[in-house]
């Protein structure tokens, strides 16, 4: 027991010394920054409601390096093997440069391009001067690629933590989890002695969180967030060893997953909005600037904050738990070793569900809005260019679909994929079906307005082409014909499915973007919430109009009313049938509806009943109708 305590004592000392020093220094730094005017004042872009000093990264910097430096002097320990690599003084010098760059930005608000240039310079010297790179992990990596990868890794991490620092305690809390996760990875790999600096860093973060956690009395500022990003990125490079991918890259990448993902989404989102702005040549409706490097209100913490009712603590803990889960998966992968592949696959699937369900909706909608603006561009030159490309693109997609159907048929029928099958069977079947498509005039059909008859003709073309292809294969040399009857029956079905999928892709995409539009509109307060009375053909026409107008839509269907009691609780077009007209007053109050759209044929007498039922609720009543009138 005594031996265990003696072994743990240095780790505890370095952790608690950094914690104590940061606890003492943070109030001092806070007051100094207040007097220097380094204060975040409330404005529409910021979350804080009162002026709060920034530049708290100075306390973090002094608490971390001050305590660790004193520890090294008192104990006589060497920096080498402590977790900062063999070039420790150079490591400290670069960290100081990043901190001073951030501190200058906290004081004078440096231009983004100048700040990025400084980050690139520090990242280059980290590789060239401090020998921090990926060459230890991958000895055969070319120097140019190693330099580029190292600079991308460091600059990406610095900006990731800079961008995620939007809630009280968010960046410092995520950094704490990340650093402890990397320390755990080193311990798992049999190198606990190299976690000394990690523990000092963790202690300093805990001490700073005392003042930075909601309600915060001091902010990290760029001096703190950039320092955190630099340290989190370079510590794995300083402690890496050959054949230690999980320790050097895997766990750190998972630990930085939330900030990195947020940064990637921000770049994508702002780039798309920049292109939208240029096409519109006017100010965006939500007030976002057209500049790619300008801040917006759609970071992960902003979205989660809106979803939890503007509760900063809940939003921060949501992201803490995401980071903790990612780190736990990485450490579990190290422990499971041979079984880690299944764990990583599960993690990827879970992350994909979270991303596309709750996080990437804004970016997907903006991408759809950009594509829609191109598709609806009325300029003669662009439309003429698209008209020339439309059929060749459709032909190319069809050839890909026919090829895919061929290989699916081979797999389903367990036919060996031989060179003869590829050289002779594939061209014959594809060419005959394609010739049938041309003969049946498939390429002069406007498929966005196709009817059932058009799909019948498409199936007949596939069947005729497949039959002709089977005859060609039967008489072709070197081809086995034992499975020819099964192929003749299966191939046209597969071709029809694949080709139909290509043709219904456009309306399917419209439906997807309408769903994304609904998700986006739910967070807005100026949107009209609509109940639709009638779940038949007219409702489908009404919904089709909404789908076609996603970019200018200001209404969202929150439920359906229908007098057919068998439809109660069913979903039509993704919208639930909530009840009948007689239950409308209670449903209007329950879903907080603003309007009711009548999307069915009604007599004058029944219209009076509808008015009598709905007028007391105070909602707006409209009638969606299409009629034929004699001119």
> DSSP letter string over 251-285?
HHHHHTHHHHHHHHHHHHHHHHHHHHHHHHTS--T
- In the predicted structure, residue 451 carries a pLDDT above the cut 50: yes
- H/E stretch holding 53 reads strand 52-53
| Pairing outcome for strands 575-579 and 571-572 | antiparallel
Q: Which DSSP letter does residue 527 get? A: P
Q: For the segment 161-198, what is each residue's pLDDT rounded down to a tens digit?
A: 988 888 889 999 999 999 999 998 888 877 887 888 89
Give the span between the Cα atoms of 173 and 195, in whole angstroms.
Answer: 19
Give the span between the Cα atoms of 617 and 593, in whole angstroms.
Answer: 10
Q: How confident is the model at residue 286 (pLDDT cuts 50, 70, 90)?
A: very low
Give the span between the Cα atoms of 267 and 265, in whole angstroms.
Answer: 5
Q: What is the pLDDT of residue 359?
A: 63
215: preceding bond cis by omega (within 30 degrees): yes
Q: For the segment 307-344, what is each residue's pLDDT rounded down to a tens digit?
A: 776 788 888 998 999 899 888 888 877 776 655 556 66
**Residue scoring higher pLDDT (291 or 324):** 324
Q: What are phi and psi of 598, to 5 degrees?
A: -85, 115
- In the predicted structure, residue 82 carries a pLDDT above the cut 70: no
Angle between helices 257-280 and 312-336 (to 10 degrees): 120
C-alpha closest to that of 220 among 168, 157, 296: 168
Q: Name the burial class of residue 310, with classes exposed (0-12), middle (13-18) and buried (19+) by CB atoms within 10 angstroms of its CB.
A: exposed
pTM of the shown model:
0.66
Terminal-residue alpha carbon distance, the chain: 99
Q: What are phi and psi of 590, to 5 degrees?
A: -70, -40
Q: What are phi and psi of 578, to 5 degrees?
A: -90, -25
Torsion of CA 364, 370, 376, 380, to 10 degrees: -150
**Close Cβ partners of 115 (under 8 Å, ≥ 6 residues apart):** 101, 105, 222
Tally of CA atoms within 13 A in the half-sphere of 288 that contains its CB: 24
Q: Do 457 and 442 contact (CB within 8 A), yes or no?
A: yes
Q: What is the pLDDT of residue 463?
A: 93
Domains of the chain in start order, with CATH, are 2-368 (no CATH), 382-503 (no CATH), 526-623 (3.40.50.720)
Give the span between the Cα atoms of 277 and 139, in whole angstroms.
Answer: 46
What angle (nearest 5°) sits at the alpha carbon of residue 221, between those of residues 133 and 87?
A: 25
- In the predicted structure, residue 376 carries a pLDDT above the cut 60: no
Q: What is the 3-state secondary structure (H, E, C) of 550-595?
A: HHHCCEEEEEEECCCHHHCCCEECCEEEEECHHHHHHHHHHHCCCE
């Amino acid at each position: 027991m005594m031996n265990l305590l003696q072994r743990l004592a240095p780790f505890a000392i370095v952790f608690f010394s950094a914690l104590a020093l940061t606890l003492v220094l943070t109030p001092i730094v806070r007051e100094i920054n207040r007097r220097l005017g380094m204060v975040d004042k409330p404005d529409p872009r910021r979350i804080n409601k009162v002026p709060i000093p920034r530049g708290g990264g100075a306390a973090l910097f002094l608490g971390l390096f001050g305590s660790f430096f004193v520890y090294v002097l008192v104990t006589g320990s060497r920096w080498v093997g402590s977790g900062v690599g063999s070039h420790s003084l150079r490591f400290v010098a670069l960290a100081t440069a990043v901190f001073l760059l951030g501190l200058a930005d906290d004081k004078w608000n440096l231009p983004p391009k100048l700040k990025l240039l400084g980050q690139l310079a520090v990242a280059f010297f980290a590789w060239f001067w401090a020998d921090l790179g990926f060459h230890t992990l991958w000895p055969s990596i070319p120097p140019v690629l190693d330099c580029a990868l190292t600079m991308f890794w460091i600059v990406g991490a610095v900006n990731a933590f800079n961008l995620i620092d939007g809630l009280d305690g968010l960046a410092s809390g995520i950094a704490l989890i990340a650093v402890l996760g990397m320390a755990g990875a080193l311990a798992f790999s049999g190198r606990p002695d190299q976690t000394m600096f990690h523990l000092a860093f963790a202690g300093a973060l805990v001490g700073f969180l005392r003042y930075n956690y909601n309600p915060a009395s001091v902010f990290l500022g760029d001096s703190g967030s950039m320092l955190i990003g630099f340290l989190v990125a370079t510590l794995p490079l300083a402690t890496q060893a050959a054949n230690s991918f999980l320790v050097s890259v895997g766990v750190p990448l998972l630990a930085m997953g939330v900030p990195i993902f947020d940064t990637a989404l921000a770049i994508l989102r702002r780039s798309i909005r920049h292109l939208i702005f240029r096409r519109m040549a006017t100010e965006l409706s939500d007030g976002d600037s057209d500049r790619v490097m300008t801040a917006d209100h759609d970071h992960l913490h902003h979205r989660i904050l809106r979803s939890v009712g503007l509760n900063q603590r809940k939003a921060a803990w949501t992201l803490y738990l995401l980071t903790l889960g990612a780190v736990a998966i990485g450490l579990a992968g190290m422990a499971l070793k041979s079984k880690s592949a299944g764990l990583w696959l599960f993690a990827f699937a879970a992350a994909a569900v979270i991303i596309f369900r709750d996080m990437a909706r804004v970016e997907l909608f903006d991408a759809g809005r950009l594509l829609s603006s191109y598709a609806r561009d009325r300029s003669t030159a662009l439309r003429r260019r698209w008209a020339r490309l439309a059929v060749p693109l459709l032909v190319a997609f069809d050839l890909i679909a026919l090829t895919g159907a061929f290989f699916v048929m081979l797999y389903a029928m367990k036919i060996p994929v031989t060179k003869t099958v590829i050289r002779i069977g594939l061209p014959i079947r594809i060419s005959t079906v394609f010739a049938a498509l041309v003969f049946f005039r498939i390429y002069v059909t406007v498929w966005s307005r196709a009817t059932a008859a058009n799909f019948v003709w498409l199936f007949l073309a596939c069947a005729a082409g497949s039959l002709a292809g089977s005859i060609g294969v039967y008489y072709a040399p070197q081809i086995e014909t034992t499975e020819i009857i099964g192929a003749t029956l299966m191939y046209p079905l597969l071709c029809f499915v694949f080709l139909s999928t290509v043709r219904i892709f456009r309306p399917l995409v419209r439906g997807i973007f309408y769903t994304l539009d609904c998700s986006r509109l739910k967070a807005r307060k100026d949107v009209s919430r609509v109940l639709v009375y009638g779940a038949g053909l007219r409702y489908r026409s009404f919904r089709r109009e909404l789908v076609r107008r996603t970019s200018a839509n200001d209404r969202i269907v929150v439920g359906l009313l229908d007098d057919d009691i068998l439809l109660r609780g069913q979903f039509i077009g993704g919208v639930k049938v909530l009840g009948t007209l007689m239950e409308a007053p209670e449903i209007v109050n329950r879903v907080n509806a603003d309007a009711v759209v009548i999307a069915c044929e009604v007599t004058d007498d029944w219209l009076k009943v509808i008015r009598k039922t709905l007028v007391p609720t105070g909602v707006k009543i409209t009638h969606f109708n299409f009629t034929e009138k004699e001119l």
